[in-house]
Chain A
Amino acid sequence: MESYLSMRNISKTFSSTGLKANDNVNLEVRKGEIHALVGENGAGKTTLMNILYGIEQPDTGTIMLSGKEIMITNPLAANKAGIGMVHQHFKLVNEFTVAQNVVLGTEPMKGAFFFDNRKAEADVAAVIEKNRFHISPEMKISEISVGQMQQVEIIKMLYRKAELLILDEPTSVLTEQEIQRLFKTLRELIKQGKTIIIITHKLAEVKDISDRITVMRKGRVISVKDTADVDESEISRMMVGKSVVFDFDKGVDGCRDAVMSLENVTIKKKRQGRPILDGISFEASTCEIIGITGVAGNGLTELEDVIAGLERISSGRVYHNDQDITNITPKALRDRGLAYVPTDRLKRGSSLETSVKENLILTTHHDFMNSGGVFDEVKINEHSKRLISEYLIDGHADVPIGTLSGGNIQKVILARELEMVKDFVLFSEPTWGLDIASSEFIYEKMLEMRARGVAVILISSNIDEILALADTVIVMYRGRIVAKKASGPELTREVIGEYMLGLKDDYSTDDDCSSDNDHSKNDFKGEDN
């Protein structure tokens, strides 16, 4: 069958790192198929797609579309050629409506100066209608859900008459239901004769949605297969060179002493009726991994910030080893030995322009100075050398951490934080966007911490991860705990999913009053009315 898109002998080396991201890559995509591009982090998928979309220029190689060689020098040229890309992180203006976001850059005009909002809305409505999206063009981006934002991104590309759509990790932020809806949309688009390239880590989805698969590893194409001919473990083998199943031992019973406990933790913001966190109570204990999950926007981020001391709570108490640590500073919390691997690795977890070496000493830099407050360079160098080899970090101690790949940045953070662990550690979305090998490495470290008797708090929206690791599972929905369960065979993906989507709730408000602190509970009721 004739290729619709063919990328031939594409090579790309990044001058800043000397990393060969694409090494003689060939990609053939047929008209009207959903083509999955899979591979670990740093395999070169995103680079290849950035080249196709004109964000990066290849060192060598040609791109042919419908049999004609084309030059794609920038995203605008890609749009003109009928190529559209939906990025992992949405690029939308919050204060604009759906229609205004969609037409941005190619706005319909009234005369020479005036933006024709009515025509924009009509045009966008037509695209929505045709593709059966469930969204209104007049809504503001700030009012819609993440799943809908993604729809807007897709509509944006369709409005620009894209024939070939590239989706970079489209499901990473979506709920199960939203994923199903997305897949329905994609199939619909194929019926209309579009072609789709989808980048993903999730093998079940690859199997579910794609027609053919191209597997990349370390900048090269390893294999091209029809999806029907391979199973998930085979794809995974091709990606990493070995098969992976997450199956870990659970913690031992006994030895459970509360290290950190939250009592009725509540955050209320002005002009917001519903508390962002509503009466959260749980204990993180020694020899235990406590897993907290939920869909984005249901309080996980705020809970992370509260545990890390970065967000003040309106009411409730937090204890560490029976001492009241409510609303103490992050510094005081760090002094108590809290180790913390944050969700946001680039803004919070690392300082991108700073060297790996200096990133590694953030939480322990007091240990590297002599009495005059001067750093002991020799000790710092030894420290970074040791951690780089111990944590298998692929990077030099003196280069800015921003030049490392995502997985290696996370390992630097991990190394720094686990170095200072005393009795509690918080991991938040520790494997988000990471490849299987790096994820496994992090899981092993987590289990190691538990075996040492450390209380491990794992916040993650990845249910598989929670199921594989957590001894106790907490599910959050709309700022509240809706389930707290010991792990076991009866606790399945589906069960957790139901709690996550608010279909089930073990802690309805009536139960709550009897079990929890009445005094503070009554306060909330007053607020609600």
Chain B
Amino acid sequence: MKVNRSDWFVTASALLITLGAAFAVMLVMIFIMSETPGETIYYFFAGPLTNKYYLGNMFNSAIPLILTGLGIAFAFRSSMFNLGGEGQVYAGGLAATAVALPLPAAGAFFGITISLLAAVVTGAVIAGLSGFFKMKWRTDELISSFLISNALIYIVDNFITGPLDDPENNLLVTSKIAEQYWFKKIFLPSNLDISIFFIAIIAVLAFYYLFKTHQGYEMRMCGLNPEFARYGGINVGKYMILPMLWSGAFHGLAGAVAVFGTSHACYKGFSGGMGWNGIAVALIARNNPIAVIPAALFFAYLEAGAKSAMINADVTIEIASIVQSVVFFLITAQAIYNFVKFRRKAV
């Protein structure tokens, strides 16, 4: 037990140091870029918490990040790299929309269920393909998932601007889905919707699946040491595909939730960043499904802080991107180091 605790302590302190450094960099930048640094810092840190609109939206933007973070964490846990998150989210959103659009008369429960299912299946199939290729031909899933995703983005773009385009406006967006499918808002005037509760439950279930079930065990063993797993009689090929299926499913769901909860239609490029940020979230959370929740909130907080600072003070929105990059950089530098170390040991 002693070992566990000290291990935990090291992890937590490393994380604190990283975050501390990121904030320090941010402060320095604010002092450089802002005429009124005191005000900017206030709006950056306190802004997202001062009114319901900002606060709710912050939580709302964390929702897809929790899902994409879970998707990445699942893949990582099995030593699989899913770099195709962007495309999977995007395609998931489109699939859900495409199913929901022709169904305006159906009951809300039925319609939502089958639309979300479509999104989940779409994401799972796309990511699962990379897992299948790896099992079949030892193709590196890191590259194949990325390439497939990139190609998909153009295909989805084509659907949004072509067959599904809303003829009634000039925006690059599909028609809106029927109103009974919109997720219920729970924190007006913000966009925060009821799905956040379900997503939190999903994160807890994911944790349970990974650490308390037979399949989760086999998956983790394959991730930690594939040779050990094979030696022990675990079907390693299966665990090249299964975690990718899960990963893609989470990503697809993220896209659907973003559409049904917030935009109610597919915009061209609506998924921008959700997939990539999911990687950062999973890394901050050290691939722990429950820790993904605070990690996603933290990421959303940074973004909300930047928006608030931009509106109320004199900095540009880019400062959020810069701070996120710095956090991402610091955290991934460390975490990827660990991951590589551990992957190399395993191989």
A interface residues, Cβ below 8 angstroms from B: 15-18, 308, 310, 329-331, 333-335, 340, 342, 347-354, 358, 361-363, 365-366, 368-369, 372-375, 377, 396, 398-400, 403
Contacts and interface: CB of A to CB of B under 8 A. Distances in A.
Given A17-B3, A373-B213, A375-B214, A349 B224 contact: no
A399 B212 CA distance: 17
B212 A353 contact: no
Contact of A374 (B212, B224, B229): B212
Contacts of A17: 3
B1 A373 contact: no
Contacts of B345: 352
Given A310-B230, A349-B228, 19 more contacts: A18-B2, A329-B235, A330-B233, A331-B235, A342-B231, A347-B225, A347-B227, A347-B228, A350-B228, A351-B225, A354-B221, A354-B225, A358-B217, A366-B214, A369-B214, A375-B213, A375-B214, A398-B1, A398-B4
A331 B227 contact: no
A328 B221 CA distance: 21
B231 A330 contact: yes
A339 to B, nearest CB: 11
9 contacts: A331-B235, A347-B228, A348-B231, A351-B229, A354-B225, A362-B232, A362-B233, A362-B234, A399-B4
B342 interface: yes
A319 to B, nearest CB: 19
CB-CB nearest 7 A-B residue pairs:
A334-B233, A362-B232, A351-B225, A331-B233, A369-B214, A373-B214, A351-B228
B231 A400 contact: no
Contacts of B3: 16-17, 396, 399-400, 403
Contacts of B230: 310, 330
Contact of B1 (A16, A349, A365, A396): A396
A18 B230 CA distance: 33
Contacts of A329: 235
B135 to A, nearest CB: 13
B215 interface: yes
Interface in B218-248: 218, 220-221, 224-225, 227-235
Contacts of B215: 373
Contacts of B214: 365-366, 368-369, 373-375
Given A334-B232, A374-B213, A375-B214, A362 B221 contact: yes
Interface in B1-55: 1-4, 6
A348 B228 contact: yes
Contacts of A375: 212-214, 217
Contacts of A400: 3
A373 B220 CA distance: 15
Contacts of A348: 227-228, 231
A372 B213 CA distance: 8
A310 B212 contact: no
Interface of B: 1-4, 6, 212-215, 217-218, 220-221, 224-225, 227-235, 342, 345
A335 B232 CA distance: 10
A338 to B, nearest CB: 9
A18 B229 CA distance: 30
A353 B223 CA distance: 11
B176 to A, nearest CB: 40
Nearest to B347: A347
Contact of B224 (A308, A353, A363): A353
Contacts of B6: 15-16
Contacts of A369: 213-214
B238 to A, nearest CB: 10
A368 B216 CA distance: 13
A235 to B, nearest CB: 35
Residue of B1, B3, B342, B345 with most partner-chain A CB within 10 A: B3
Contacts of A351: 221, 224-225, 228-229
B241 to A, nearest CB: 16
A507 to B, nearest CB: 31
A18 B225 CA distance: 26
B232 A363 contact: yes
Given A352-B345, A374-B212, A400-B3, A365 B231 contact: no
Nearest to A358: B217
Residue of A333, A335, A347 with most partner-chain B CB within 10 A: A347
A349 B230 CA distance: 10
A352 B2 CA distance: 17
Contacts of B4: 398-399
A329 B231 CA distance: 10
A361 B221 CA distance: 11
B225 A352 contact: yes
A363 B228 CA distance: 10
Contacts of A349: 228, 231
Contacts of A352: 225, 345
A354 B234 CA distance: 16
A373 B217 CA distance: 10
A347 B226 CA distance: 9
A329 B233 CA distance: 8
Given A369-B214, A399-B4, A310 B342 contact: no
Residue of B215, B225, B232, B234 with most partner-chain A CB within 10 A: B232
B142 to A, nearest CB: 21
Contacts of A362: 221, 228-229, 232-234
A400 B212 CA distance: 17
A413 to B, nearest CB: 10
Contacts of B221: 351, 354, 358, 362
Given A331-B235, A365-B217, A399-B3, A377 B228 contact: no
Contacts of A342: 231
Nearest to B230: A330
A377 B217 CA distance: 12
Contacts of B224: 351, 353-354
B328 to A, nearest CB: 25
A8 to B, nearest CB: 30
Contacts of B2: 18
B233 A377 contact: no
Residue of B1, B212, B233 with most partner-chain A CB within 10 A: B233
